[in-house]
Amino acid sequence: MNALTGIAVSPGIVWGPAALLVQDSVTLRYVITPAHVAREIARLDAAREATRRQLERIHARVLASAGPDLAYLFQAQLLMLDDQLLVPRAQAIVSAERLNAEWAVERAFEEFSAIFMDVEDGYLRERRGDVADVIGRLRRNLVPMPRRTGELSLNLDEPSILVAGELPPSVAGQLDRNRVIGLAMDAGSRTDHSAILARSLRLPTVASLRVATQLASPGVLILLDGYSGDVVIDPDHAMIDRARAKAERKWVSVPVARHLVQPASTADGVAIRFDANIELPDEIDVARANGAEGVGLFRSEFMLGGRTLDSVGEQEQYEAYRNLVERMAPHPVTIRTFDVDESRMAGRPGDRPPEGSAEPSRGPLGLRAIRLCLSRPDVFGTQLRALARAARHGPLRVLFPFVASVDELRQARVALFDAGLAVASGRGDQAPSIAVGAMIEVPSAAMTVDLLAAEADFFSIGTNDLIQYTLAVDRTDGRVARLYEPLHPAVLRLVRAVTRAAGRWGRPVAVCGEMASDPAALIALLGLGVTSFSMSPALIPAARQIVREVSLSDVRRVVARALRLASAQQIAAHLLSAYPGIIKRSNGRTTQSGVEGDNGER
C-alpha cells in the first residue's frame, strides 16, 4: 500500500482499478539530405491537418458535454495550430537546418516554451500546457498509421481511475465518464485547463502527486479523495469502508434555468451580485446565459494574441472594447488594462532587448502591469484613449492591475483623465464618465485600501495573486502548490481588512479570483463582507444556488468564529461543520466503483 497527497482539484470520493496513461516522450532525431526537405515539410502539413480534424471533433464533443465556455479551449488550440511560431517555424527549421520533422517540432516547442516561461503572469505561464498539448498531438500525428495514437481510445472493461503523468486538455476533453470515474495526475494544478475540464465533468481529481504513475500498476485498486487530495494505492478493506461512510452524501444538480429565474440574494434577503470573467468577446453570450449581471473582468491582454502592445493600435482596441460594451449593454463591462510584463511591450515575448538597453526584469515582481504601463505613456495612452472612446457606447469601467501604492493609482487616474479629454470632440463635449478601479492583488494594496479609496471608485480582489504573494507560494510550482491555501487565516484577515476599509469609504468590493469557485471559500467571503463576485460563467449558477440557501447573518457569525482559528484546515473543518449539506453537495458527487451515488434532483 502507498499513500500519496496531492492537490485536490475536483471533489468526490471514488475507488476502482487503475488505468495508466503514460505518454511516450521519445523523439526520433536525425539530419536529412536536401532532397528530403520537401518530404518533411509535407509530413508537417499532413500532421497539422490531421491534428486540426481531431481538435475539431474534440471541440464538438466538449461543446455538447460541457458547453461553449469550455469548448473554447479547443478553439484556442486550433488557433495555436496556425501560429507562426509552431508549424511554420518547424518547417523553417527543417529548411534551414535540415532536421527531420519530429526534431524540428521539438525545437519549435522549446523556443515557444522559453517565451511562455519568461512571461511573468502565472496565468499565462500555465497556458504553456495548452501549447504542449497541441505539440504532443502534432508529434503523434507524424507517426505513420496504425501506430498513431492521436485519438484517445479507452476500451476499459470496468470503470477505472485514470493515473496519468500530465493529462493534456485535449485528452481530458475525450474522457468517457462511463469508463473513467476518477483522475490522478503526477503534475498539474487547480487552475490549469485539465483541472477546469475535470471539474466541469464532475470528475473527482487529484493533481501534483508526482510519483503516482511510478507506484501504481495497471489494475491495482486506487482510492481517490478529491476533497482532501489523498490517493491510496492498494488500500485495505477498512479504508474502503471508511471511504464508503464518508461518501454518504449525494450530488444534487439544479437546472441552470431554475437558478436564473430566482433573484441572486441570500435567504435573509441580501442581494449578491455575480459578474463574469471573460477573455474573449464571444464569451459574452455564455455569460448572459449563465446569469451574469455584467462583465466583472475582461483581461484585455488576451486580445493581443501573440502580438506586442506596440502592434495593437487605438482603432483596433476601440472596436474591440466597443463590441464588448454594446453586446453586454445595459450591463456594465469592467476592462482591466494590460497585465503583461515588459517583454510584451516591444518585441516578441522572450526576445532579447536591443543592444545597449536594460535587460528586462525576470520573475513576477519586475516591471509589470500598471508599473509597466506608467513607464510607457505612449502605449498606455493608446489603450486609455480607446477605452475612453468605447465608454461613449455604454457603461464601461476601467480596472488597473497590480496596484501597490497610491502614487501608481493616482498617476494612472490622471492618465485616464487626460485620455478622456483627448477624445472629447471639442468645446462643450464632455469627457466620458468612467469609473476607476484598483485590483487588490498584493498585501501592500490590501493594507492601504483606506488610502487608495481616495483615488478609486471600486476595488476588485484578485485572489489568485493575493494568496500567492501573501503566503509566498508559487501556485504553478507543484513542489509547493499544496501550500496555496485560500482559507489561510492571513488571507481571510486581509480580505476582511479590505472590505472594512472600503466600506468606510463607500467603495464597492468584488472578488474576481478563482477562490470563490470553492463552496466553502464562497461562504467565507460572504461572511467577510464580500457581496459581489466575478467568476467563470459556468460557475455562476452553482454559486447563486449556494447564496440563496444561506443566511448572511448566520454566515457572518460562523466566519467570525473561523477567524479565530489557527490554520486553513481548521477553518475548512469549521465551515464544513456549519454547512455540511451545502458544501458536500456543491463539492461534487461520490462514486463507488463507477456506480454514481447520484439520485439527487436534476
Which residues are catalytically annotated? 193, 512
Helix, strand, coil percentages (3-state) for the chain, rounded to 5, are: 50, 15, 35
**588 Cβ contact list (under 8 Å, min separation 6):** 10, 11, 12, 202, 204, 226, 251
Reference 541, options 112, 255, 142; nearest CA is: 255
Q: Which three cell numbers stand for residue 457?
A: 471608485
Helix (H, G, I), strand (E, B) or coil at 462: coil
The dihedral built from the CA positions of residue 157, 162, 165 and 166, taken in this order, carries a sign that is positive
Q: State phi, psi for 470 to the nearest 5 degrees.
A: -70, -40
3-class DSSP assignment, residue 474: coil
**How far is Cα 492 from Cα 433, in angstroms, rounded to an integer?**
34
- Number of C-beta neighbours around residue 576 at 10 A: 17
Residue of 494, 493, 474 lying closest to 483 (CA atoms): 474
> In whole angstroms, how far apart are CA 29 and each of 86, 105, 131, 233?
18, 11, 21, 37
Q: Please, are residues 121 and 464 in contact by the beta-carbon 8 Å criterion?
A: no
Q: Are 460 and 439 in contact (CB under 8 A)?
A: yes
- 373 near 380, Cβ under 8 Å? yes
Backbone phi and psi for residue 201, each to the nearest 5 degrees, phi listed first: -80, 0
Cβ–Cβ < 8 Å for 415, 384? yes
3-state secondary structure of 594: coil
Instruction: Please give the grid coordinates belonging to residue 44.
Output: 508537417
Residues 6+ apart with CB under 8 A from 200: 66, 67, 70, 538
**Contact partners, residue 269, CB within 8 Å, separation at least 6:** none
C-alpha torsion 436→437→438→440, nearest 10: 170
Residue 301 to residue 477: CA distance in whole angstroms: 23
* Amino acid identity, position 87: V
Cell of 25: 516522450
| Residue 291, phi-psi category: left (phi > 0), alpha (psi -120 to 50), beta (remainder) | left
Distance in angstroms (rounded) separating the CA atoms of residues 298 and 280: 8
Cell 501550500 belongs to which residue?
A: 483
Q: Which of 318, 405, 346, 343 is nearest to 370 (CA)?
A: 405
Cell of 57: 471533433
Residue 186 DSSP class: S
